[in-house]
């Protein structure tokens, strides 16, 4: 046992947890921790603000099997971080945030830069901890790390008063295995449960897999791919599950929901057995778009609260609370042991025909570059190791529709919370977790401005991050909504002045920065972006009047999907 100050205990604990990078922004109330980090082997990445720091830390988690760590100071740093923590909570992303705080005896007073961390994060984090001077820092830090990734993962915020950082504490070097065992979840399906599941499945002639973010891990992806290599059931996925199954698999019909692919939204209307795995039944899939299917439902998820809700609302014929990858392995083992085979050739062919007959499309006769055209061209780029982040808006949904991701944890986007400003800071975390991969941030002119300072972070650290910005001089998704709901009256969604963002990136010191507005330059521009080294930025001027299709209007059923003027049936 050693005696160290609280800041040093924190850093030693992070080293024990094999933390290699932290993201943050310093200040008076967290200086002892940064000083201790300076004497460690942990790399400190300084973002342009605290929201970006927590986004980067969450990006580290989203794209790897580790837990990202953000360290910020007190007061406004805490409130700046709130949005990123709420975003991670909504998408079930493990994250640890250490927040500096005034000395313990000043908590609850009008002390400079004091705010209640528990009050700020109570509804936005999996757990909030306020350290007091008699608590064991090492145990709390190590426990929080494993708690954040257990069950339904989520962010943990730890309030760290300045006097506790400075005061001496005990450090024991407790083995991490103890904390791993506390949160291990090895619950398996019984033989009887497997039998009940397959009794339902074997009665089906048109089964459909509905894959969610709970499978977006190496273990989850491997389990569902092996399960479906054996059974070959057509599948659809949520936004958070892109890459869980190979995007080009002919039985993978892509994203379901309000802006889902036409074939995904069609096939759900025809299935008779709906197997939902690791999903949270997002309202853009299940409620706003009218979840009008009459099929039997099976549901596996690790979150007991969500299971209780779905059992009361959907009455699934089969349900299981536990790790989805473990459950799928159990089902596959049972199927092989009992030589279970599915005879669904007609349904498999129907899925293939839908995917071929109703391709995504856009206005190919326009003289202005279409955002969908950019995503279509990008989909031809074949790099299994690419990691993509997106902002929020039409570009996000088009990327989800068009891009065929080949691996899990390869498509990082803000799903539940829909946070603009997500793409660039998240890409920074993704890079540090995956320095061998190509990292591409896709953003819109509205979303990118929310964290524009991360251009400086990327340039100053000389990070090989590629940014593809689609600039339609408006908030395109909201414009589409305004046009539909307010007879074309557009309030607060259009830019009066055209700002050259590529020139801004060039000023920051990007190695490659280019602006394209002519269609004939587009294909080569994308090739230059993807082929250049160091920080790269391509700005593409796109059609302000482009409308995102297909879409299912709010409150409507899948059968009322609007395909628009360009998506049409083609002959096989």
pLDDT tens readout for residues 494-532? 888 899 999 999 999 999 999 999 999 999 999 999 999
The DSSP bridge pattern shows strands 155-161 and 465-471 to be: unpaired
Among candidate residues 500, 231, 451, the one with its CA nearest the CA of residue 344: 231
* Alpha carbon distance 162, 154 (integer Å): 26
pLDDT value for 102 = 87
Query: Helices 394-402 & 476-485, crossing angle to 10 degrees?
Result: 110
Under 8 Å between Cβ of 155 and 94? yes
Domain ranges of the chain: 2-182, 191-356, 371-548
pLDDT value for 277 = 97
Q: What is the 3-state secondary structure (H, E, C) of 203-244?
A: HCCCEEEEECHHHCCHHHHHHHHHHHHHHCCCEEECHHHCCC
Under 8 Å between Cβ of 428 and 26? no
CA-to-CA dists, residue 61 to 217, 402, 429, angstroms: 11, 25, 8
Q: 451-477 burial, b if ≥16 CB within 10 A, otherwise e?
A: bebbbebbbeeebbbbbbbbbbbbbbb
Among candidate residues 168, 126, 180, the one with its CA nearest the CA of residue 17: 180
Q: How many CB atoms lie within 10 A of CB 127?
A: 14
Under 8 Å between Cβ of 440 and 387? yes
Residue 330's SS3 state is helix
- The pTM for the full model equals 0.96
Degrees, nearest 5: CA angle 123-422-359: 110
Omega before 194 cis (within 30°)?
no
Name, in order, each residue with C-beta under 8 angstroms of 364's C-beta and a sequence gap of 6 or more.
370, 373, 566
Under 8 Å between Cβ of 253 and 210? no
Q: 191-356: what fold? A: Rossmann fold (3.40.50)
Query: Helices 76-90 & 50-62, crossing angle to 10 degrees?
Result: 30
Domains 2-182 and 371-548 alike in fold: yes
Q: Token digits for 137?
A: 């820092």
Question: To the nearest whole percent, how much of the chain has pLDDT over 70?
Answer: 98
Q: Token digits for 40?
A: 């460690």
CB burial of residue 106 (10 Å; 0-12, 13-18, 19+): middle
DSSP assignment of 260-297 = --HHHHHHTTT-SEEEEES----HHHHTTTT----SEE
pLDDT value for 143 = 96
Name, in order, each residue with C-beta under 8 angstroms of 253's C-beta and a sequence gap of 6 or more.
234, 235, 236, 261, 263, 264, 267, 351, 354, 355
CA-to-CA dists, residue 383 to 105, 376, 529, angstroms: 55, 15, 14
pLDDT tens per residue across all 572 residues of the chain: 788 999 999 999 999 999 999 999 999 999 999 999 999 999 999 999 999 999 999 999 999 999 999 999 999 999 999 999 999 999 999 999 999 998 888 888 888 888 899 999 999 999 999 988 778 999 999 999 999 999 999 999 999 999 999 999 999 988 888 888 888 777 999 999 999 999 999 999 999 999 999 999 999 999 999 999 999 999 999 999 999 999 999 999 999 999 999 999 999 999 999 999 999 888 777 664 445 466 899 999 999 998 998 888 888 999 999 999 999 999 999 999 999 999 999 999 999 999 999 999 999 999 999 999 999 999 999 899 999 999 999 999 999 999 999 999 999 999 999 999 999 999 999 999 999 999 999 999 999 999 999 999 999 999 999 999 999 998 888 899 888 888 889 998 888 889 999 999 999 999 999 999 999 999 999 999 999 999 999 999 999 999 999 999 888 889 999 999 999 999 86
pLDDT value for 292 = 47
Q: Can you identify the CATH homologous superfamily of domain 371-548?
A: Thiamin diphosphate (ThDP)-binding fold, Pyr/PP domains (3.40.50.970)
* Alpha carbon distance 244, 302 (integer Å): 17
Under 8 Å between Cβ of 383 and 247? no
Name, in order, each residue with C-beta under 8 angstroms of 400's C-beta and a sequence gap of 6 or more.
239, 242, 255, 259, 390, 411, 413
DSSP assignment of 476-500 = HHHHHHHHHHSTT---S-B-SS---
Is the domain 2-182 a CATH 3.40.50.970 member?
yes
Query: Helices 6-16 & 31-38, crossing angle to 10 degrees?
Result: 50
Name, in order, each residue with C-beta under 8 angstroms of 74's C-beta and a sequence gap of 6 or more.
27, 28, 29, 30, 99, 100, 101, 102, 113, 114, 115
* Alpha carbon distance 53, 92 (integer Å): 18
* Alpha carbon distance 75, 112 (integer Å): 8
């Amino acid at each position: 046992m050693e005696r160290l100050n609280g800041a040093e205990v924190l850093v030693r604990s992070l080293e024990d947890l094999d933390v290699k990078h932290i993201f943050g922004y310093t200040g008076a109330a967290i200086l002892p921790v940064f000083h201790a980090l300076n004497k460690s082997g942990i790399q400190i990445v300084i973002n342009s603000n605290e929201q970006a720091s927590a986004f980067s830390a969450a990006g580290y988690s989203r794209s790897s099997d580790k837990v990202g760590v953000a360290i910020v100071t007190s007061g406004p740093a805490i409130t700046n971080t709130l949005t990123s923590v709420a975003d991670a909570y909504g998408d079930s992303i493990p994250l640890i945030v250490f927040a500096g705080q005034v000395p313990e005896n000043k908590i609850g007073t009008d002390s400079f830069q004091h705010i209640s961390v528990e009050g700020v994060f109570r509804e936005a984090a999996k757990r909030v901890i306020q350290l007091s001077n008699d608590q064991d820092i090492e145990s709390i830090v190590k426990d929080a790390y494993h708690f954040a990734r257990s069950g339904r993962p989520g962010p943990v915020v730890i309030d760290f008063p300045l006097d506790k950082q400075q005061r001496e504490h005990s450090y024991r070097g407790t083995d991490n295995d103890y904390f791993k065992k506390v949160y291990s979840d090895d619950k398996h399906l019984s033989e009887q449960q497997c039998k009940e599941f397959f009794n339902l499945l074997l009665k089906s002639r048109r089964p459909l897999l509905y894959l969610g973010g709970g499978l977006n891990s190496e273990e989850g992806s491997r389990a569902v791919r092996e399960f479906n290599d054996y059974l070959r059931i057509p599948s659809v996925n949520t936004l958070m599950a892109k890459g869980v199954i190979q995007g080009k698999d002919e039985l993978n019909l892509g994203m379901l929901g309000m802006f889902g692919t036409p074939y995904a939204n069609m096939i759900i209307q025809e299935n008779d057995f709906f197997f939902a795995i690791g999903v949270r039944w997002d309202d853009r899939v299940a409620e706003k778009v009218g979840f009008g299917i009459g099929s039997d439902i099976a549901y596996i998820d690790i979150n007991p609260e969500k299971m209780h809700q779905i059992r009361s609302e959907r009455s699934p014929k089969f349900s299981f609370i536990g790790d989805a990858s473990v459950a799928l392995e159990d089902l596959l083992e049972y199927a092989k042991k009992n030589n279970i085979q599915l005879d669904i050739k007609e349904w498999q062919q129907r899925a293939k025909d839908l995917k071929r007959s109703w391709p995504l499309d856009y206005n190919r006769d326009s003289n202005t570059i279409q955002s969908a055209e950019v995503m279509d061209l990008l989909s031809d780029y074949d790099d299994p190791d690419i990691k993509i982040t997106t902002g929020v808006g039409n570009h996000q949904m088009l990327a989800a529709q068009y891009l065929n991701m080949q691996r899990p944890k390869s498509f990082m986007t803000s799903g539940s919370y829909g946070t603009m400003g997500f793409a660039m800071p998240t890409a920074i975390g993704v890079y540090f977790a995956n320095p061998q991969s190509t990292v591409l941030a896709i953003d819109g002119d509205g979303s990118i401005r929310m964290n524009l300072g991360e251009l400086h972070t990327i340039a100053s650290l000389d990070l090989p991050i590629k940014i593809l910005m689609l600039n339609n001089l408006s908030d395109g998704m909201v414009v589409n909504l305004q046009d539909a709901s307010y007879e074309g009256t557009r309030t607060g969604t259009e830019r009066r002045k055209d700002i050259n963002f590529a020139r801004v990136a060039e000023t920051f010191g990007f190695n490659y920065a280019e602006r394209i507005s002519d269609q004939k330059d587009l294909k080569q521009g994308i090739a230059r972006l993807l082929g250049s080294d160091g920080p790269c930025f391509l700005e593409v001027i796109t059609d302000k009047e482009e409308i995102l299709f297909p879409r299912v209007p709010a409150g409507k059923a899948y059968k009322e999907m609007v395909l628009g003027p360009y998506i049409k049936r083609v002959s096989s």
